Amino acid sequence: MPEIRVTPLGAGQDVGRSCILVSIAGKNVMLDCGMHMGFNDDRRFPDFSYITQNGRLTDFLDCVIISHFHLDHCGALPYFSEMVGYDGPIYMTHPTQAICPILLEDYRKIAVDKKGEANFFTSQMIKDCMKKVVAVHLHQTVQVDDELEIKAYYAGHVLGAAMFQIKVGSESVVYTGDYNMTPDRHLGAAWIDKCRPNLLITESTYATTIRDSKRCRERDFLKKVHETVERGGKVLIPVFALGRAQELCILLETFWERMNLKVPIYFSTGLTEKANHYYKLFIPWTNQKIRKTFVQRNMFEFKHIKAFDRAFADNPGPMVVFATPGMLHAGQSLQIFRKWAGNEKNMVIMPGYCVQGTVGHKILSGQRKLEMEGRQVLEVKMQVEYMSFSAHADAKGIMQLVGQAEPESVLLVHGEAKKMEFLKQKIEQELRVSCYMPANGETVTLPTSLSIPVGISLGLLKREMAQGLLPEAKKPRLLHGTLIMKDSNFRLVSSEQALKELGLAEHQLRFTCRVHLHDTRKEQETALRVYSHLKSILKDHCVQHLPDGSVTVESILIQAAAPSEDPGTKVLLVSWTYQDEELGSFLTSLLKKGLPQAPS
Amino acid sequence: AKLHLKKIKKKRENFRSYFLYPSQQQQEEIATKKLRLTKPSKSAALHIDLCKATSPADALQYLLQFARKPVEAESVEGVVRILLEHYYKENDPSVRLKIASLLGLLSKTTGFSPDCIMDDAINILQNEKSHQVLAQLLDTLLAIGTKLPENQAIQMRLVDVACKHLTDTSHGVRNKCLQLLGNLGSLEKTVTKDAEGLATRDVQKIIGDYFSDQDPRVRTAAIKAMLQLHERGLKLHQTIYNQACKLLSDDYEQVRSAAVQLIWVVSQLYPESIVPIPSSNEEIRLVDDAFGKICHMVSDGSWVVRVQAAKLLGSMEQVSSHFLEQTLDKKLMSDLRRKRTAHERAKELYSSGEFSSGRKWGDDAPKEEVDTGAVNLIESGACGAFVHGLEDEMYEVRIAAVEALCMLAQSSPSFAEKCLDFLVDMFNDEIEEVRLQSIHTMRKISNNITLREDQLDTVLAVLEDSSRDIREALHELLCCTNVSTKEGIHLALVELLKNLTKYPTDRDSIWKCLKFLGSRHPTLVLPLVPELLSTHPFFDTAEPDMDDPAYIAVLVLIFNAAKTCPTMPALFSDHTFRHYAYLRDSLSHLVPALRLPGRKLVSSAVSSTIISQEDPSQQFLQQSLERVYSLQHLDPQGAQELLEFTIRDLQRLGELQSELAGVADFSATYLRCQLLLIKALQEKLWNVAAPLYLKQSDLASAAAKQIMEETYKMEFMYSGVENKQVVIIHHMRLQAKALQLIVTARTTRGCGMFLSKMYFITDLPHLQDSFVDKLLDLMPRLMTSKPAEVVKILQTMLRQSAFLHLPLPEQIHKASATIIEPAGESDNPLRFTSGLVVSLDVDATLEHVQDPQNTVKVQVLYPDGQAQMIHPKPADFRNPGPGRHRLITQVYLSHTAWTEPCQVEVRLLLSYNSSARIPKCPWMEGGEVSPQVETSIEGTIPFSKPVKVYIMPKPARR
């Protein structure tokens, strides 16, 4: 029995460190190779020794697929390929390929240069690792080898995020990565066709949430920014360099354009600037509006948003600044925050979740006096706003995607166990699809039905089609033919052709049967009686009385004979070929019941 | 292949003998005649061409060439015969395909009855092997069948043919068969058996069987055929509903899209039938069930289907309100706890009296736990359909959803109230079209709704939009919006004033908006008055500047509110009254007449009710016009004076009363014509001998010319002019022409007068007691008399003819245009390299222009007198409201080099074509006057003020 085996090395009932092993029809594929943000020791990377104890990874894995550039999906890649050792192909989309090394490099810098970690991957390793990457286009079917093929679908979420279909023969698995079912200001919604995979591996970050429309949040955000700058206040928006930052930039840029505002908007240089460059390049990956207006103007070539300089923070008058990092724990955003915190006209908008212990978390939870280093106390008079923009599908979105793809079963990853439980129950209840949620290291085995393709000759198919009058789509139908197995492929041909091909002579197989009838009349008369009897019953068939006294029904021959010993009984000889077996046996059973009494 | 060829040859011969010989043998004479008729040069040429063709490619070329030219109805049959003949000879399927398609085209020729070629077509159909040609032939049959809708027997026969080929293996053939069935399938169920023994078929059943065809294209065609049957008036069976529902989960989008339509059709046919809900014992109305199903399709994978579904939702008005309201409901949940939507929170905040508090962290924290069992993630029902539709990725879907919302809200006030929040949200869509559409939608449903303050806040935020379309649409919306509180009014006023300072060009639109806002909410404005006028109980405040548009805006609001709120004027300070008097005079269309205590005002004496207050001006108009008609009895001097001051009065009235402007202008123009005519006839020159007044004759001919111009203006610049008026106008023109004739005759001694004699009579209508009347009386004399005499007769006739009463039309509006852009105030010349072009954005509003796409032109006048006329594209015109148009276009300027910057003039012209308007005069047909004259006069009337643009073409640098 063929089967699909799935083992999460990360992201099993957990968020972060996505890494899932899939074995499908003898092929082994690793989906994502992420790191965990919460750990600084060995636990931050998946346990690759699980895959193989002493062999080389390259021998075991056929390919690695990276869904998008977030570090919890690609952060362990250099470690995996260069330090553990993997030389096979790594597949990702073009934008991911472009942005991924930047983020890895940034991450490496923080880990090595700032925290002083040893035994970490080097810049060179990142470069070497990226050399193994094969970039794919959306909806492009890539043949990894003769049997294994993969195909990318649009996933929204971040620039270049993709869902991947992995297919071997007739078995297939879809891995969603992270995706978003509602469009935002710069990206579209995830979409997949009815590919009916055996298994759909989906993220479930918001398994227990049904979200409100995005419009209210956007409107609130814009209104707040607008009001503040109109009052002459300054707005600080701490963001991470990629993803939300671009969405908010587009949002503000279009609003500024629409409302004809002149207040300057700045974003911090460095990573954001670089990232914007890539967004400019990968227009086909963005949403409808940006794609359509691209001919007139590239939306990412901001008119109103300029690069930030340290000195601008002290400028008088209103302004809006996007600064990194997003949780106000260090860097530029914290510096600006310190400068502006004292003025109640100013505002800080936190567009995302903040980890405990950061300044961002403190101010969000309402703390108004912050202790900074050097025993300074910073009094926060500026307004603090929270605005969540998240790019994951909610429970409804997940269900919608499952409905679109129509998989045989679903496997949940990238979510909390408790929340998964709920969604699992819902999927099984409402979609009637079996659902799994393995923990890390736990293997799910999924039996699949093996389908064997058989080639059919066109002549035979046309002949059969001509017989059936009404079209009956997708219904099984009986078909006579000969199955030829040759060189490990199967062909269905008509029997004549099979004989010809195999060089065999046709043998006729005839069944004969004697039926004893109690009849005192002459043979001819008996035959005549049989004829009229059959004629009255078998109205659709061609029943004939031949001059030599025998009766034929189609190709079945019936002869009446009188055995010498008993004149009271007649023997009917019924003979038919193998092909007419059905009719033949029906006739014999009919005749065995005897003839009806002749009307006297 | 040889065998095949032989077969075809033989068949051809059979065919010939069958079709050609009988006619030749039996009816010799007719046959010969027919031969002449059916073999005109066209078919012969085709025949020769086709015979010449050596290869199929050649033949195809000839056929393609032939297809380019139209064929007359009488030669169609001959051509068809030739084509058929060639068809039998042809081995190449592509040529046969072309012939088949030509047959279809030819049978569509008007005036040709294709029943004679049907037998041939069916005949060749039966022997055809190629699927493509077969499909094309069926298409031809469809063309024939649709051409003969009355012939039952032919239809039955064609349906029979279609049924026979339904089992074909090619999807194309099955497609065409279904199409044929859909178009020709008989509508009556109980058609008696035809004489030929063709059994009537249940077309619906046959088509329904193909809903499960293996080919998606055929499935689509089957559904389309079913829809076609419905369109032709056949009542579809209810059983189709279940079949169609199954198709909703088809793999192919075109099938799903068509299935959604079919479900909609059935739901409109059987709205009240009861259908069971699967997997439960309950039953619901069919229309509700269908509504739920279509709602589900709003989140389909294909956007084509989503658009289709969203559009259809709008027209399902019979759906129960319970289901309807579900479409806006999406039960929110966060971490398994129930959460309120932002809309609900906003409402709650508002009702608790705490408005617009900043959002706090955790403000949206979820409340009660959700029962995990009760949550349904994919409802089969309508839940949240519009929430999804309005959030869709594709703007096409969003627009469709907004339209559907609009239609549903118009039929259900409670739904209108509920969908408000969502519509308001759409005001911030990223695509302008969607924003505009949602603003328009809101305006359409504004009778059913009252805006809450927080909603108003969002609506008003859009006033800062840089798009003029959006702002104007929003002003229109505010005109008919109901606001619930005085703060709301205040907010609206503040935002509108902000809008005014930011975009001063919006002035008129904003004033108009405030006028309606004031008159709709007098009681809400009342408490705001002291603040708005900044009056103080004890101190006199400084008098505001009367020319400040913002101050005028405030006053417009207050005065309009005061109209129905008699206590308000008590709050006014002295200067307010003065300003009122001034504004009432200068902006009478915005400021209504008020009853002010202790002040003598013209209006206060007359008007006691609101309704009668328009009467005095109307009366005045009538009176002054009536006075003019006594003109006849006055001496020329008195008549002139009377006309002059009546014209002055009318013009003033038109300026004051915008409603009467059209009428007043129209009559004033007419009177001016009369005045000119009288003046011209008063000239002393008539008594002087011809050579003496030669230099003075300018005045009379100039008058004649001006009258002509004015009559064209009257005829073409006003909308709502009826035939009655046109006749009078033409009469006036005739007089002008007569005048012209006299003048020319006298000056040039008769030369050319005979030429011009005819043409002015042509557009004579029948009128009593007028110039025409007299002219007709004297016509025989005129025809025979000498030029000098004619002039004399005409002259006396002109003098004697009575002044005709111009009946006023009910509704008359003068076409006008205002160029907003270019403003013409710039000192910086537009520089460009001479010889190349520079584009100039032109933005203008047009009022009461009929068919602006064809009539409005832009004229550019260069300083050297060179004029250039530009026809704007039809797409440059927008229609923001009834009677109003907006022209936004680009004009390309070019010129050779100048040394100094100079001004060019840009103006709008209204072009006319008099042939379209001339009324038929019955007496002319039998009359002695030959109608051989030029009947159409084309020309243009400038109808906007010219705008000067400073440009500077520089010589190209070398």
B776 vs A359, more confident: A359
pLDDT given for residue B355 in this prediction: 38
φ and ψ at residue A287, rounded to 5 degrees: -90, 180
Question: If DSSP codes are grouped into helix, strand and coil, which group holds residue B330?
Answer: coil
> Which of chain A's residues have a Cβ under 8 Å away from the Cβ of B392?
183
How many whole angstroms separate alpha carbon A100 and alpha carbon A92?
A: 10
Per-residue confidence band for B608, with pLDDT thresholds at 50, 70 and 90: very low
Interchain CB distance below 8 Å, B359 and A220: yes
Interchain CB distance below 8 Å, A260 and B392: no
Q: Are strands B877-881 and B867-870 parallel, antiparallel or unpaired?
A: unpaired
- Cα angle B635, B641, B643 (rounded to 5 degrees) comes to 100
Nearest residue in chain B measured CA to CA from A415 = B335
Per-residue confidence band for B218, with pLDDT thresholds at 50, 70 and 90: very high
E strand intervals along A324-443: 347-350, 369-371, 377-379, 383-386, 409-413, 434-436
B285 bridge partner residues: B274
Whether the CA torsion B176, B177, B178, B179 is positive or negative: it is positive
pLDDT given for residue B375 in this prediction: 61
Interchain CB distance below 8 Å, B214 and A471: yes
pLDDT given for residue A132 in this prediction: 93
Report the candidate in B720, B716, B759, B649 with the shortest Cα–Cα distance to residue B882: B720
Task: Tell the residue number behind the tokens 């002139």, with chain if given.
Answer: B640
Q: Which of A364, A403, A466 sits opposite B378 (nearest CB)?
A: A403
| Whether the predicted pLDDT of B758 surpasses 60 | no
**Shortest CA gap A421–chain B (Å):** 10
**Shortest CA gap A365–chain B (Å):** 7
How many whole angstroms separate alpha carbon B707 and alpha carbon B685?
A: 19
Please give the structure tokens belonging to residue A301. Answer: 């070539």
Type of residue found at B506: D
Please give the structure tokens belonging to residue B761. Answer: 């009579």
Interchain CB distance below 8 Å, B461 and A226: yes
The DSSP line for B473-513 is: HHHHHHHT--B-SHHHHHHHHHHHHHHHHH-GGGHHHHHHH
**Shortest CA gap B618–chain A (Å):** 45
pLDDT given for residue B931 in this prediction: 38
DSSP A213: P
pLDDT given for residue B598 in this prediction: 57
Whole-number Cα distances in Å, B645 to B641, B671, B699: 6, 10, 22
Lowest mean pLDDT among B99-103, B363-367, B401-405, B586-590: B363-367
pLDDT given for residue A166 in this prediction: 95
pLDDT given for residue A92 in this prediction: 94
Residues in chain A, how many? 600
Average pLDDT, integer, range B545-559:
88
pLDDT digits (tens, 9 = 90+) for B173-214: 999 999 998 888 876 644 444 434 444 567 888 888 888 888
**Shortest CA gap A584–chain B (Å):** 31
**Shortest CA gap B543–chain A (Å):** 29
Please give the structure tokens belonging to residue B619. Answer: 């009366």
Please give the structure tokens belonging to residue B60. Answer: 């195809």
B394 vs B4, more confident: B394
Q: Are strands A569-577 and A556-561 parallel, antiparallel or unpaired?
A: antiparallel
B944 bridge partner residues: B817
pLDDT given for residue B403 in this prediction: 92
Residue B361 CB neighbour total at 10 angstroms: 16
What torsion, rounded to 10 degrees, do the Cα atoms B277, B281, B283, B288 define? -30
Per-residue confidence band for B917, with pLDDT thresholds at 50, 70 and 90: very low
Radius of gyration (Cα) for chain A, nearest Å? 37
Q: Which of A185, A212, A259 sits opposite B466 (nearest CB)?
A: A259
How many whole angstroms separate alpha carbon A223 and alpha carbon B714?
A: 52
> Which of chain A's residues have a Cβ under 8 Å away from the Cβ of B336?
208, 419, 422
pLDDT digits (tens, 9 = 90+) for A67-120: 999 888 998 999 999 988 899 999 999 999 999 998 898 888 878 877 777 788
| Domains defined along chain A, listed by start | 3-210+391-443 (3.60.15.10), 214-386 (3.40.50.10890), 454-467+478-502 (no CATH), 510-593 (3.30.70)
Interchain CB distance below 8 Å, A384 and B361: yes
Interchain CB distance below 8 Å, A473 and B212: yes
pLDDT given for residue B41 in this prediction: 57
> Which of chain A's residues have a Cβ under 8 Å away from the Cβ of B390?
213, 215
**Shortest CA gap B334–chain A (Å):** 4
Interchain CB distance below 8 Å, A209 and B393: no
DSSP B127: H
How many whole angstroms separate alpha carbon A504 and alpha carbon A335?
A: 91
Interchain CB distance below 8 Å, A425 and B335: no
Per-residue confidence band for B354, with pLDDT thresholds at 50, 70 and 90: very low
**Shortest CA gap B399–chain A (Å):** 14
Nearest residue in chain A measured CA to CA from B428 = A219
Nearest residue in chain A measured CA to CA from B393 = A183
pLDDT given for residue B15 in this prediction: 43
Average pLDDT, integer, range B450-474:
84
Judge whether B952 and B901 are in contact, CB under 8 Å: yes
Whole-number Cα distances in Å, B282 to A178, B277, B279, B285, B955: 39, 6, 9, 10, 84
Cα distance from N-terminal residue to C-terminal residue, chain B: 74
pLDDT digits (tens, 9 = 90+) for B355-368: 333 344 444 555 55
pLDDT given for residue B611 in this prediction: 43
Report the candidate in A413, A501, A592, A503 with the shortest Cα–Cα distance to residue A9: A413
pLDDT digits (tens, 9 = 90+) for B712-749: 888 888 877 777 778 788 778 888 877 877 777 666 55
In terms of Cβ atoms closer than 10 Å to its own Cβ (0-12, 13-18, 19+), residue A599 is exposed
Cα distance from N-terminal residue to C-terminal residue, chain A: 68
How many whole angstroms separate alpha carbon A177 and alpha carbon B672?
A: 81
What torsion, rounded to 10 degrees, do the Cα atoms B633, B635, B640, B643 define? -20
pLDDT given for residue A319 in this prediction: 92
Interchain CB distance below 8 Å, B393 and A189: yes
Could you tell me how many CB contacts below 8 A there are between chain A and chain B?
134
| Whether the predicted pLDDT of B370 surpasses 80 | no
pLDDT digits (tens, 9 = 90+) for B504-533: 878 888 998 999 988 888 888 888 888 888
E strand intervals along A169-250: 171-175, 199-203, 234-238
Interchain CB distance below 8 Å, B378 and A396: yes
Task: Tell the residue number behind the tokens 């068969």, with chain if given.
Answer: B177
Interchain CB distance below 8 Å, B361 and A194: no
Interchain CB distance below 8 Å, A395 and B377: yes
Interchain CB distance below 8 Å, B339 and A212: yes
Average pLDDT, integer, range B423-427:
86
Nearest residue in chain B measured CA to CA from A204 = B335
Question: If DSSP codes are grouped into helix, strand and coil, which group holds residue B211?
Answer: helix
> Which of chain A's residues have a Cβ under 8 Å away from the Cβ of B384?
396
pLDDT given for residue B602 in this prediction: 45
DSSP B357: P
> Which of chain B's residues have a Cβ under 8 Å away from the Cβ of A183?
391-393
Per-residue confidence band for B809, with pLDDT thresholds at 50, 70 and 90: confident
pLDDT given for residue B29 in this prediction: 41
> Which of chain A's residues have a Cβ under 8 Å away from the Cβ of B299?
400
Phi-psi region of B835 (alpha: psi -120 to 50; beta: other; left: phi over 0): left
Interchain CB distance below 8 Å, B431 and A383: no
Nearest residue in chain B measured CA to CA from A225 = B358
> Which of chain B's residues have a Cβ under 8 Å away from the Cβ of A365?
361
Walk along chain A (600 residues) in steps of 10 and give the mean pLDDT of each run.
88 86 92 83 84 83 93 90 91 93 86 79 92 94 93 92 92 93 88 92 87 79 89 89 81 87 85 81 88 84 87 89 82 87 89 76 84 80 82 86 92 89 88 91 89 84 69 66 85 87 85 82 80 81 81 82 74 83 84 68
> Which of chain A's residues have a Cβ under 8 Å away from the Cβ of B344?
none
Please give the structure tokens belonging to residue A474. Answer: 């997708």
pLDDT given for residue A390 in this prediction: 74
pLDDT given for residue B219 in this prediction: 92
Q: Which of A182, A210, A466 sits opposite B331 (nearest CB)?
A: A210
> Which of chain A's residues have a Cβ under 8 Å away from the Cβ of B461?
223, 226
pLDDT digits (tens, 9 = 90+) for B32-86: 444 444 444 566 677 777 777 778 888 888 888 888 877 777 778 888 888 888 8
pLDDT digits (tens, 9 = 90+) for A543-568: 888 888 788 887 788 888 777 777 77
Nearest residue in chain B measured CA to CA from A219 = B428
Kindly report whether the peptide bond that precedes residue B822 is cis, defined as omega within 30 degrees of 0: yes
Interchain CB distance below 8 Å, B465 and A259: yes
> Which of chain B's residues have a Cβ under 8 Å away from the Cβ of A193?
301
The DSSP line for B354-416 is: --SPPPPTTTT---SBP-TTT--SS-SS-TTHHHHHHT-SSHHHHHHHHHHHHHHHHH-HHHH
| Whether the predicted pLDDT of B756 surpasses 70 | no
Per-residue confidence band for B306, with pLDDT thresholds at 50, 70 and 90: very high
Per-residue confidence band for B381, with pLDDT thresholds at 50, 70 and 90: low
Phi-psi region of B571 (alpha: psi -120 to 50; beta: other; left: phi over 0): alpha
| Whether the predicted pLDDT of B91 surpasses 50 | yes
Judge whether B319 and B287 are in contact, CB under 8 Å: yes
pLDDT given for residue B32 in this prediction: 41
Mean pLDDT rounded to a whole number for chain B: 77
Best residue of A15, A196, A213 to probe chain B, by most B CBs closer than 10 Å: A213
Best residue of B178, B344, B393 to probe chain A, by most A CBs closer than 10 Å: B393
**Shortest CA gap B663–chain A (Å):** 41
Which of B297-301, B774-778, B782-786 has the highest mean predicted lDDT (pLDDT)?
B297-301
DSSP A176: -
A577 bridge partner residues: A510
B138 bridge partner residues: none
pLDDT given for residue A401 in this prediction: 92
Is the ipTM here above 0.85? no
**Shortest CA gap B431–chain A (Å):** 7
Best residue of B243, B253, B295, B377 to probe chain A, by most A CBs closer than 10 Å: B377
Interchain CB distance below 8 Å, B393 and A219: no
> Which of chain B's residues have a Cβ under 8 Å away from the Cβ of A191?
301
How many whole angstroms separate alpha carbon B810 and alpha carbon B663?
A: 9
Question: If DSSP codes are grouped into helix, strand and coil, which group holds residue A487?
Answer: coil
Nearest residue in chain B measured CA to CA from A367 = B361
Show which residues of A are catalytic.
203
Per-residue confidence band for B378, with pLDDT thresholds at 50, 70 and 90: low
| Edge-to-edge order in the sheet of strand A383-386 | A305-307, A265-267, A319-323, A234-238, A347-350, A383-386
E strand intervals along B116-221: none
Residues in chain B, how many? 958
How many whole angstroms separate alpha carbon A233 and alpha carbon B719?
A: 54
